A and B are shown apart, each in its own frame.
Chain A
Protein backbone atom coordinates (compact mmCIF):
# COMPACT_ATOMS: atom_id res chain seq x y z
CA UNK A 1 0.00 0.00 0.00
CA UNK A 2 1.41 3.40 -0.82
CA UNK A 3 1.64 6.30 1.55
CA UNK A 4 -1.71 8.02 1.12
CA UNK A 5 -3.91 5.00 0.53
CA UNK A 6 -4.59 4.31 4.26
CA UNK A 7 -5.64 7.93 4.75
CA UNK A 8 -8.03 7.81 1.81
CA UNK A 9 -9.51 4.55 3.06
CA UNK A 10 -9.91 5.96 6.59
CA UNK A 11 -11.64 9.07 5.28
CA UNK A 12 -13.85 6.91 3.08
CA UNK A 13 -14.74 4.68 6.03
CA UNK A 14 -15.64 7.64 8.23
CA UNK A 15 -17.76 9.31 5.55
CA UNK A 16 -19.56 6.09 4.58
CA UNK A 17 -20.31 5.29 8.22
CA UNK A 18 -21.74 8.78 8.79
CA UNK A 19 -23.84 8.59 5.61
CA UNK A 20 -25.12 5.13 6.55
CA UNK A 21 -26.00 6.35 10.05
CA UNK A 22 -27.63 9.49 8.65
CA UNK A 23 -29.86 7.60 6.20
CA UNK A 24 -30.68 4.69 8.51
CA UNK A 25 -31.66 6.94 11.41
CA UNK A 26 -33.63 9.23 9.10
CA UNK A 27 -35.62 6.30 7.71
CA UNK A 28 -36.03 4.43 10.99
CA UNK A 29 -38.79 6.60 12.42
CA UNK A 30 -38.09 5.06 15.83
CA UNK A 31 -38.02 7.17 18.98
CA UNK A 32 -35.09 5.07 20.22
CA UNK A 33 -33.03 5.84 17.13
CA UNK A 34 -33.49 9.55 16.37
CA UNK A 35 -32.22 11.05 13.08
CA UNK A 36 -28.50 11.87 13.19
CA UNK A 37 -29.32 15.39 12.05
CA UNK A 38 -31.39 16.00 15.22
CA UNK A 39 -28.69 14.42 17.40
CA UNK A 40 -25.93 16.60 15.96
CA UNK A 41 -28.09 19.73 16.16
CA UNK A 42 -28.78 18.83 19.78
CA UNK A 43 -25.07 18.41 20.51
CA UNK A 44 -24.38 21.82 18.99
CA UNK A 45 -27.21 23.76 20.64
CA UNK A 46 -26.87 22.10 24.06
CA UNK A 47 -23.24 21.12 24.60
CA UNK A 48 -21.38 23.64 22.46
CA UNK A 49 -23.33 26.90 22.66
CA UNK A 50 -25.99 26.14 25.30
CA UNK A 51 -26.39 25.22 28.97
CA UNK A 52 -24.46 21.98 28.61
CA UNK A 53 -21.16 23.85 28.68
CA UNK A 54 -21.41 24.12 32.45
CA UNK A 55 -21.88 20.37 32.85
CA UNK A 56 -19.16 19.59 30.35
CA UNK A 57 -16.74 21.89 32.17
CA UNK A 58 -17.60 20.31 35.52
CA UNK A 59 -16.98 16.81 34.15
CA UNK A 60 -13.69 17.82 32.54
CA UNK A 61 -12.40 19.56 35.68
CA UNK A 62 -13.17 16.47 37.77
CA UNK A 63 -11.69 14.18 35.15
CA UNK A 64 -8.41 16.04 34.96
CA UNK A 65 -8.18 16.55 38.72
CA UNK A 66 -8.79 12.85 39.38
CA UNK A 67 -6.49 11.75 36.59
CA UNK A 68 -3.72 14.08 37.80
CA UNK A 69 -3.92 12.68 41.33
CA UNK A 70 -4.06 9.13 39.99
CA UNK A 71 -1.09 9.61 37.67
CA UNK A 72 1.15 11.41 40.17
CA UNK A 73 0.15 9.14 43.04
CA UNK A 74 0.59 5.99 40.98
CA UNK A 75 3.95 7.15 39.66
CA UNK A 76 5.42 8.13 43.04
CA UNK A 77 4.07 5.08 44.87
CA UNK A 78 5.20 2.87 42.00
CA UNK A 79 8.76 4.19 42.25
CA UNK A 80 8.78 3.65 46.02
CA UNK A 81 7.30 0.16 45.91
CA UNK A 82 9.01 -1.01 42.73
CA UNK A 83 12.55 -0.33 43.92
CA UNK A 84 12.37 -2.15 47.20
CA UNK A 85 12.02 -5.90 47.05
CA UNK A 86 10.94 -5.94 50.70
CA UNK A 87 8.13 -3.41 50.28
CA UNK A 88 7.08 -5.05 47.02
CA UNK A 89 6.82 -8.50 48.56
CA UNK A 90 4.95 -7.11 51.54
CA UNK A 91 2.40 -5.07 49.61
CA UNK A 92 1.76 -6.85 46.29
CA UNK A 93 -1.08 -9.15 47.45
CA UNK A 94 -2.85 -6.32 49.29
CA UNK A 95 -2.56 -4.08 46.22
CA UNK A 96 -3.80 -6.83 43.91
CA UNK A 97 -6.80 -7.31 46.16
CA UNK A 98 -7.73 -3.62 46.28
CA UNK A 99 -7.22 -3.39 42.53
CA UNK A 100 -9.64 -6.26 42.02
CA UNK A 101 -12.42 -4.14 43.52
CA UNK A 102 -13.98 -2.08 40.70
CA UNK A 103 -13.71 1.64 41.53
CA UNK A 104 -17.41 1.94 40.74
CA UNK A 105 -18.20 -0.49 43.57
CA UNK A 106 -16.55 1.99 45.92
CA UNK A 107 -18.89 4.83 44.92
CA UNK A 108 -21.22 4.02 47.84
CA UNK A 109 -18.22 4.18 50.19
CA UNK A 110 -17.02 7.46 48.64
CA UNK A 111 -20.50 8.93 49.00
CA UNK A 112 -20.51 8.13 52.72
CA UNK A 113 -17.07 9.69 53.27
CA UNK A 114 -17.07 12.61 50.82
CA UNK A 115 -20.74 13.39 50.30
CA UNK A 116 -22.19 14.00 46.86
CA UNK A 117 -19.93 16.80 45.62
CA UNK A 118 -16.84 16.96 43.43
CA UNK A 119 -14.55 15.45 46.09
CA UNK A 120 -16.37 12.15 45.83
CA UNK A 121 -16.10 12.07 42.04
CA UNK A 122 -12.44 13.10 42.04
CA UNK A 123 -11.68 10.44 44.65
CA UNK A 124 -13.31 7.72 42.53
CA UNK A 125 -11.53 8.82 39.34
CA UNK A 126 -8.18 9.10 41.13
CA UNK A 127 -8.57 5.69 42.75
CA UNK A 128 -9.59 3.98 39.52
CA UNK A 129 -6.82 5.50 37.42
CA UNK A 130 -4.12 5.06 40.08
CA UNK A 131 -3.87 1.28 39.76
CA UNK A 132 -3.05 0.81 36.06
CA UNK A 133 -0.25 3.38 36.44
CA UNK A 134 0.95 2.08 39.81
CA UNK A 135 1.20 -1.54 38.67
CA UNK A 136 2.91 -0.64 35.41
CA UNK A 137 5.44 1.60 37.17
CA UNK A 138 6.16 -1.12 39.76
CA UNK A 139 6.88 -3.55 36.91
CA UNK A 140 8.99 -0.93 35.15
CA UNK A 141 11.07 -0.18 38.23
CA UNK A 142 11.52 -3.88 38.91
CA UNK A 143 12.68 -4.55 35.38
CA UNK A 144 15.32 -1.81 35.53
CA UNK A 145 18.26 -3.53 33.87
CA UNK A 146 21.22 -4.67 35.91
CA UNK A 147 23.58 -2.90 33.47
CA UNK A 148 21.82 0.40 34.09
CA UNK A 149 22.09 -0.15 37.83
CA UNK A 150 25.75 -1.17 37.67
CA UNK A 151 26.69 1.68 35.35
CA UNK A 152 24.98 4.17 37.62
CA UNK A 153 26.68 2.88 40.73
CA UNK A 154 30.16 2.71 39.15
CA UNK A 155 29.80 6.33 38.08
CA UNK A 156 28.74 7.17 41.60
CA UNK A 157 25.26 8.20 40.54
CA UNK A 158 22.94 7.65 43.47
CA UNK A 159 20.16 9.24 45.44
CA UNK A 160 18.07 11.86 43.64
CA UNK A 161 20.49 11.90 40.71
CA UNK A 162 19.92 8.21 40.14
CA UNK A 163 16.15 8.59 40.38
CA UNK A 164 16.08 11.50 37.98
CA UNK A 165 18.61 10.26 35.41
CA UNK A 166 18.28 6.49 35.50
CA UNK A 167 15.10 5.24 37.11
CA UNK A 168 12.49 7.75 35.92
CA UNK A 169 13.50 7.67 32.24
CA UNK A 170 13.40 3.89 32.16
CA UNK A 171 10.04 3.79 33.92
CA UNK A 172 8.36 6.48 31.77
CA UNK A 173 7.36 4.17 28.90
CA UNK A 174 5.59 1.86 31.33
CA UNK A 175 3.89 4.82 33.00
CA UNK A 176 2.69 5.95 29.56
CA UNK A 177 1.26 2.47 28.91
CA UNK A 178 -0.56 2.75 32.24
CA UNK A 179 -1.98 6.17 31.38
CA UNK A 180 -3.18 4.81 28.05
CA UNK A 181 -5.29 2.30 29.99
CA UNK A 182 -6.34 4.88 32.59
CA UNK A 183 -7.70 7.40 30.04
CA UNK A 184 -10.80 5.50 28.87
CA UNK A 185 -11.28 4.35 32.46
CA UNK A 186 -11.39 7.97 33.64
CA UNK A 187 -14.16 8.69 31.15
CA UNK A 188 -16.17 5.73 32.47
CA UNK A 189 -15.64 6.79 36.07
CA UNK A 190 -16.51 10.45 35.53
CA UNK A 191 -19.86 9.48 33.96
CA UNK A 192 -20.64 6.77 36.50
CA UNK A 193 -19.81 8.99 39.47
CA UNK A 194 -22.19 11.63 38.12
CA UNK A 195 -25.05 9.21 37.59
CA UNK A 196 -25.76 8.64 41.26
CA UNK A 197 -26.97 11.53 43.40
CA UNK A 198 -25.21 14.30 41.51
CA UNK A 199 -26.62 17.48 40.01
CA UNK A 200 -23.88 18.40 37.54
CA UNK A 201 -21.90 16.74 34.79
CA UNK A 202 -22.45 14.64 31.68
CA UNK A 203 -23.69 11.67 33.72
CA UNK A 204 -26.32 13.85 35.39
CA UNK A 205 -27.52 15.14 32.01
CA UNK A 206 -27.79 11.52 30.85
CA UNK A 207 -29.91 10.50 33.83
CA UNK A 208 -32.13 13.55 33.39
CA UNK A 209 -32.58 12.68 29.72
CA UNK A 210 -33.43 9.10 30.66
CA UNK A 211 -36.05 10.22 33.16
CA UNK A 212 -37.68 12.57 30.64
CA UNK A 213 -37.46 9.94 27.84
CA UNK A 214 -35.43 12.36 25.73
CA UNK A 215 -33.64 9.89 23.45
CA UNK A 216 -32.12 12.57 21.24
CA UNK A 217 -30.36 13.99 24.27
CA UNK A 218 -29.10 10.52 25.30
CA UNK A 219 -27.68 9.96 21.80
CA UNK A 220 -26.17 13.44 21.95
CA UNK A 221 -24.34 12.61 25.18
CA UNK A 222 -23.07 9.35 23.68
CA UNK A 223 -21.75 11.18 20.60
CA UNK A 224 -20.15 13.80 22.85
CA UNK A 225 -18.42 11.09 24.89
CA UNK A 226 -17.13 9.42 21.73
CA UNK A 227 -15.67 12.72 20.53
CA UNK A 228 -14.16 13.40 23.97
CA UNK A 229 -12.57 9.95 23.95
CA UNK A 230 -11.00 10.54 20.54
CA UNK A 231 -9.71 13.98 21.63
CA UNK A 232 -8.25 12.64 24.90
CA UNK A 233 -6.55 9.72 23.15
CA UNK A 234 -5.09 11.91 20.41
CA UNK A 235 -3.86 14.55 22.86
CA UNK A 236 -2.14 11.89 24.91
CA UNK A 237 -0.75 10.32 21.76
CA UNK A 238 0.88 13.64 20.88
CA UNK A 239 2.37 14.10 24.35
CA UNK A 240 3.60 10.52 24.41
CA UNK A 241 5.22 10.89 21.01
CA UNK A 242 7.05 14.02 22.10
CA UNK A 243 8.16 12.71 25.47
CA UNK A 244 9.04 9.20 24.44
CA UNK A 245 10.34 9.68 20.92
CA UNK A 246 13.55 7.99 22.07
CA UNK A 247 11.88 4.80 23.27
CA UNK A 248 12.30 1.88 20.89
CA UNK A 249 9.38 -0.02 22.31
CA UNK A 250 6.96 2.89 21.84
CA UNK A 251 3.36 1.77 21.58
CA UNK A 252 3.96 -1.51 23.27
CA UNK A 253 0.85 -2.92 24.81
CA UNK A 254 0.31 -2.04 28.44
CA UNK A 255 -0.74 -4.56 31.00
CA UNK A 256 -3.24 -4.60 33.89
Chain B
Protein backbone atom coordinates (compact mmCIF):
# COMPACT_ATOMS: atom_id res chain seq x y z
CA UNK B 1 0.00 0.00 0.00
CA UNK B 2 2.63 2.51 1.10
CA UNK B 3 4.78 1.43 -1.78
CA UNK B 4 1.97 2.16 -4.26
CA UNK B 5 1.40 5.58 -2.72
CA UNK B 6 5.11 6.35 -2.82
CA UNK B 7 5.30 5.25 -6.42
CA UNK B 8 2.29 7.37 -7.32
CA UNK B 9 3.83 10.37 -5.58
CA UNK B 10 7.08 9.83 -7.40
CA UNK B 11 5.26 9.62 -10.70
CA UNK B 12 3.35 12.81 -9.91
CA UNK B 13 6.56 14.62 -9.03
CA UNK B 14 8.33 13.48 -12.17
CA UNK B 15 5.31 14.51 -14.24
CA UNK B 16 5.31 17.94 -12.64
CA UNK B 17 9.04 18.23 -13.31
CA UNK B 18 8.41 17.28 -16.95
CA UNK B 19 5.81 20.05 -17.14
CA UNK B 20 8.56 22.50 -16.36
CA UNK B 21 11.62 21.05 -18.05
CA UNK B 22 10.14 19.74 -21.26
CA UNK B 23 8.94 23.12 -22.58
CA UNK B 24 12.20 24.79 -21.55
CA UNK B 25 14.27 22.09 -23.22
CA UNK B 26 12.16 22.47 -26.37
CA UNK B 27 12.73 26.22 -26.48
CA UNK B 28 16.47 25.78 -26.00
CA UNK B 29 16.55 23.06 -28.68
CA UNK B 30 14.61 25.20 -31.17
CA UNK B 31 16.88 28.18 -30.56
CA UNK B 32 19.99 26.00 -30.91
CA UNK B 33 18.64 24.62 -34.19
CA UNK B 34 18.05 28.16 -35.47
CA UNK B 35 21.55 29.22 -34.37
CA UNK B 36 23.12 26.26 -36.18
CA UNK B 37 21.01 26.80 -39.32
CA UNK B 38 22.17 30.40 -39.61
CA UNK B 39 25.78 29.75 -38.62
CA UNK B 40 25.95 26.79 -40.96
CA UNK B 41 24.67 28.89 -43.85
CA UNK B 42 21.40 26.97 -44.25
CA UNK B 43 19.39 30.10 -43.57
CA UNK B 44 20.69 33.45 -44.87
CA UNK B 45 21.77 35.72 -42.04
CA UNK B 46 20.07 38.74 -43.59
CA UNK B 47 16.72 36.99 -43.08
CA UNK B 48 17.27 36.14 -39.49
CA UNK B 49 20.34 36.80 -37.38
CA UNK B 50 21.30 33.98 -35.00
CA UNK B 51 19.46 34.00 -31.65
CA UNK B 52 22.67 34.76 -29.71
CA UNK B 53 23.10 37.97 -31.72
CA UNK B 54 19.47 38.97 -31.10
CA UNK B 55 19.84 38.15 -27.41
CA UNK B 56 22.99 40.28 -27.20
CA UNK B 57 21.18 43.15 -28.89
CA UNK B 58 18.20 42.68 -26.59
CA UNK B 59 20.33 42.78 -23.44
CA UNK B 60 21.99 45.95 -24.68
CA UNK B 61 18.62 47.52 -25.41
CA UNK B 62 17.38 46.84 -21.90
CA UNK B 63 19.82 49.54 -20.75
CA UNK B 64 18.37 52.11 -23.16
CA UNK B 65 15.90 54.51 -21.58
CA UNK B 66 14.20 54.96 -24.96
CA UNK B 67 13.18 51.31 -25.11
CA UNK B 68 11.55 51.45 -21.69
CA UNK B 69 9.85 54.66 -22.74
CA UNK B 70 8.50 52.80 -25.80
CA UNK B 71 7.19 50.02 -23.55
CA UNK B 72 5.50 52.62 -21.35
CA UNK B 73 4.04 54.40 -24.41
CA UNK B 74 2.59 51.19 -25.81
CA UNK B 75 1.22 50.16 -22.41
CA UNK B 76 -0.42 53.57 -22.00
CA UNK B 77 -2.20 53.26 -25.34
CA UNK B 78 -3.17 49.68 -24.50
CA UNK B 79 -4.48 50.58 -21.04
CA UNK B 80 -6.63 53.52 -22.13
CA UNK B 81 -8.03 51.65 -25.13
CA UNK B 82 -8.81 48.54 -23.09
CA UNK B 83 -10.51 50.56 -20.36
CA UNK B 84 -12.79 52.37 -22.82
CA UNK B 85 -13.50 49.14 -24.75
CA UNK B 86 -14.38 47.20 -21.62
CA UNK B 87 -16.62 49.85 -20.06
CA UNK B 88 -18.43 50.85 -23.25
CA UNK B 89 -18.60 47.28 -24.59
CA UNK B 90 -20.03 45.92 -21.34
CA UNK B 91 -22.65 48.66 -21.01
CA UNK B 92 -23.77 48.46 -24.66
CA UNK B 93 -23.60 44.66 -24.74
CA UNK B 94 -25.65 44.34 -21.56
CA UNK B 95 -28.34 46.66 -22.97
CA UNK B 96 -28.44 44.74 -26.28
CA UNK B 97 -28.44 41.40 -24.48
CA UNK B 98 -31.18 42.43 -22.07
CA UNK B 99 -33.65 43.95 -24.52
CA UNK B 100 -34.51 41.83 -27.54
CA UNK B 101 -36.09 44.78 -29.38
CA UNK B 102 -33.01 46.97 -29.02
CA UNK B 103 -30.88 44.05 -30.13
CA UNK B 104 -33.00 43.48 -33.25
CA UNK B 105 -33.03 47.20 -34.06
CA UNK B 106 -29.27 47.71 -33.80
CA UNK B 107 -28.25 44.33 -35.17
CA UNK B 108 -27.68 45.37 -38.82
CA UNK B 109 -25.67 48.42 -37.75
CA UNK B 110 -23.48 46.38 -35.42
CA UNK B 111 -23.02 43.59 -37.98
CA UNK B 112 -21.91 46.14 -40.58
CA UNK B 113 -19.56 48.13 -38.33
CA UNK B 114 -18.01 45.17 -36.49
CA UNK B 115 -15.96 43.59 -39.29
CA UNK B 116 -14.54 46.87 -40.66
CA UNK B 117 -10.81 46.72 -39.94
CA UNK B 118 -10.11 49.93 -38.06
CA UNK B 119 -6.75 49.99 -39.89
CA UNK B 120 -8.77 51.17 -42.91
CA UNK B 121 -9.75 54.26 -40.94
CA UNK B 122 -6.13 55.36 -40.54
CA UNK B 123 -6.31 57.91 -43.41
CA UNK B 124 -9.39 59.53 -41.88
CA UNK B 125 -8.22 59.31 -38.29
CA UNK B 126 -4.82 60.82 -39.07
CA UNK B 127 -6.44 63.82 -40.76
CA UNK B 128 -9.14 64.35 -38.16
CA UNK B 129 -7.41 63.36 -34.91
CA UNK B 130 -3.76 63.71 -35.88
CA UNK B 131 -0.93 61.19 -35.81
CA UNK B 132 -0.46 60.90 -32.05
CA UNK B 133 -1.66 58.69 -29.19
CA UNK B 134 -5.37 59.64 -29.54
CA UNK B 135 -5.48 58.12 -33.04
CA UNK B 136 -3.86 54.92 -31.76
CA UNK B 137 -6.41 54.80 -28.93
CA UNK B 138 -9.28 55.38 -31.35
CA UNK B 139 -8.16 52.57 -33.70
CA UNK B 140 -7.49 50.09 -30.88
CA UNK B 141 -10.72 50.93 -29.07
CA UNK B 142 -12.74 50.48 -32.24
CA UNK B 143 -11.33 46.95 -32.55
CA UNK B 144 -11.61 46.02 -28.87
CA UNK B 145 -15.07 47.46 -28.29
CA UNK B 146 -16.86 44.98 -30.56
CA UNK B 147 -15.21 41.98 -28.91
CA UNK B 148 -16.27 43.17 -25.49
CA UNK B 149 -19.77 43.90 -26.79
CA UNK B 150 -20.14 40.40 -28.21
CA UNK B 151 -18.83 38.89 -24.96
CA UNK B 152 -21.27 41.00 -22.90
CA UNK B 153 -24.25 39.96 -25.06
CA UNK B 154 -23.23 36.31 -24.57
CA UNK B 155 -22.77 36.96 -20.84
CA UNK B 156 -26.33 38.24 -20.48
CA UNK B 157 -27.49 35.11 -22.29
CA UNK B 158 -25.78 33.02 -19.60
CA UNK B 159 -27.99 34.50 -16.85
CA UNK B 160 -30.49 31.90 -15.73
CA UNK B 161 -34.00 33.39 -16.09
CA UNK B 162 -35.34 31.09 -13.37
CA UNK B 163 -32.66 32.35 -11.01
CA UNK B 164 -33.66 35.90 -11.78
CA UNK B 165 -37.36 35.13 -11.24
CA UNK B 166 -36.55 33.39 -7.96
CA UNK B 167 -34.61 36.42 -6.78
CA UNK B 168 -37.51 38.65 -7.75
CA UNK B 169 -40.13 36.56 -5.99
CA UNK B 170 -37.98 36.54 -2.85
CA UNK B 171 -38.18 40.32 -3.03
CA UNK B 172 -34.50 41.03 -3.66
CA UNK B 173 -33.91 44.66 -4.54
CA UNK B 174 -32.78 45.49 -8.03
CA UNK B 175 -29.23 46.15 -6.84
CA UNK B 176 -29.15 42.80 -5.05
CA UNK B 177 -30.48 41.04 -8.13
CA UNK B 178 -27.59 42.44 -10.11
CA UNK B 179 -25.10 41.66 -7.37
CA UNK B 180 -26.16 38.12 -6.50
CA UNK B 181 -27.67 36.78 -9.73
CA UNK B 182 -26.70 38.76 -12.82
CA UNK B 183 -23.07 39.53 -12.07
CA UNK B 184 -21.93 36.05 -10.95
CA UNK B 185 -23.52 34.47 -14.05
CA UNK B 186 -22.07 37.08 -16.38
CA UNK B 187 -18.59 37.23 -14.89
CA UNK B 188 -16.95 34.21 -16.60
CA UNK B 189 -17.80 35.39 -20.12
CA UNK B 190 -16.99 38.99 -19.29
CA UNK B 191 -13.55 38.05 -17.99
CA UNK B 192 -12.88 35.97 -21.12
CA UNK B 193 -14.05 38.97 -23.15
CA UNK B 194 -11.59 41.25 -21.35
CA UNK B 195 -8.73 38.85 -22.01
CA UNK B 196 -9.55 38.60 -25.74
CA UNK B 197 -10.12 42.36 -26.01
CA UNK B 198 -6.77 42.95 -24.31
CA UNK B 199 -4.83 40.99 -26.90
CA UNK B 200 -6.78 42.59 -29.77
CA UNK B 201 -6.18 46.07 -28.39
CA UNK B 202 -2.46 45.36 -28.07
CA UNK B 203 -2.30 44.15 -31.69
CA UNK B 204 -3.97 47.32 -32.91
CA UNK B 205 -1.81 49.61 -30.75
CA UNK B 206 1.37 48.04 -32.15
CA UNK B 207 0.01 48.09 -35.71
CA UNK B 208 -1.01 51.75 -35.42
CA UNK B 209 2.44 52.60 -34.07
CA UNK B 210 4.08 50.70 -36.90
CA UNK B 211 1.98 52.24 -39.66
CA UNK B 212 1.59 55.84 -38.42
CA UNK B 213 4.75 56.15 -36.33
CA UNK B 214 3.02 56.90 -33.03
CA UNK B 215 5.72 56.58 -30.31
CA UNK B 216 5.86 53.05 -28.91
CA UNK B 217 7.23 49.58 -29.59
CA UNK B 218 5.66 49.43 -33.06
CA UNK B 219 7.40 52.64 -34.07
CA UNK B 220 10.70 51.29 -32.75
CA UNK B 221 10.22 48.15 -34.83
CA UNK B 222 9.46 50.21 -37.93
CA UNK B 223 12.46 52.46 -37.37
CA UNK B 224 14.81 49.48 -36.96
CA UNK B 225 13.52 48.01 -40.22
CA UNK B 226 13.86 51.39 -41.92
CA UNK B 227 17.60 51.49 -41.26
CA UNK B 228 17.98 47.77 -41.96
CA UNK B 229 19.13 46.92 -38.44
CA UNK B 230 17.92 43.31 -38.35
CA UNK B 231 19.09 42.33 -34.83
CA UNK B 232 17.38 45.41 -33.41
CA UNK B 233 14.20 44.68 -35.37
CA UNK B 234 14.09 41.13 -34.02
CA UNK B 235 14.85 42.33 -30.52
CA UNK B 236 11.76 44.54 -30.77
CA UNK B 237 9.70 41.57 -31.99
CA UNK B 238 10.88 39.62 -28.93
CA UNK B 239 9.99 42.49 -26.58
CA UNK B 240 6.53 42.73 -28.16
CA UNK B 241 6.09 38.96 -27.80
CA UNK B 242 7.14 39.01 -24.14
CA UNK B 243 4.76 41.89 -23.44
CA UNK B 244 1.84 40.12 -25.13
CA UNK B 245 2.65 36.86 -23.35
CA UNK B 246 2.92 38.58 -19.98
CA UNK B 247 -0.39 40.41 -20.39
CA UNK B 248 -2.27 37.30 -21.44
CA UNK B 249 -0.69 35.30 -18.60
CA UNK B 250 -1.77 38.04 -16.20
CA UNK B 251 -5.36 37.84 -17.40
CA UNK B 252 -5.36 34.04 -17.25
CA UNK B 253 -4.18 34.26 -13.64
CA UNK B 254 -6.86 36.84 -12.88
CA UNK B 255 -9.42 34.54 -14.47
CA UNK B 256 -8.51 31.60 -12.22
CA UNK B 257 -8.36 33.83 -9.13
CA UNK B 258 -11.65 35.58 -9.82
CA UNK B 259 -13.53 32.50 -10.96
CA UNK B 260 -12.10 29.82 -8.66
CA UNK B 261 -15.70 28.82 -7.85
CA UNK B 262 -16.80 28.41 -11.46
CA UNK B 263 -17.07 25.10 -13.29
CA UNK B 264 -14.83 26.15 -16.18
CA UNK B 265 -11.94 26.86 -13.81
CA UNK B 266 -12.55 24.00 -11.38
CA UNK B 267 -12.76 21.58 -14.28
CA UNK B 268 -9.33 22.66 -15.49
CA UNK B 269 -7.63 21.07 -12.47
CA UNK B 270 -8.86 17.57 -13.21
Contact = CB atoms under 8 A, between A and B. Distances in A.
Interface of A: 1, 5-7, 9-14, 17, 32, 86, 89-94, 96-109, 111-113, 183-184, 187-188, 191-192, 195-196, 202-203, 206-207, 209-210, 213, 215, 218-219, 221-222, 225-230, 232-233, 253, 255-256
B237 A222 contact: no
16 contacts: A5-B101, A32-B127, A90-B23, A90-B25, A94-B27, A100-B248, A105-B206, A105-B240, A106-B237, A108-B225, A111-B225, A196-B211, A206-B123, A215-B123, A215-B124, A222-B124
B108 A13 contact: yes
Contacts, number: 177
Interface stretch (B6-14, B57-65, B111-119): B111-119
Interface SS of chain A:
helix
B115 A91 contact: no
A13 B107 CA distance: 8
Contacts of B218: 105
Interface string B77-113: 0000000000000000000000011001111110111
Given A184-B115, A187-B115, A253-B151, A221 B233 contact: no
Given A102-B244, A253-B192, A6 B120 contact: no
Given A192-B117, A230-B111, 20 more contacts: A1-B101, A10-B108, A13-B104, A13-B108, A14-B109, A17-B109, A32-B128, A89-B19, A90-B26, A93-B27, A98-B241, A100-B241, A100-B243, A105-B207, A111-B225, A112-B230, A221-B120, A225-B120, A253-B192, A256-B196
Interface string B126-150: 1110000000000000010000001
Interface in B245-260: 245, 248
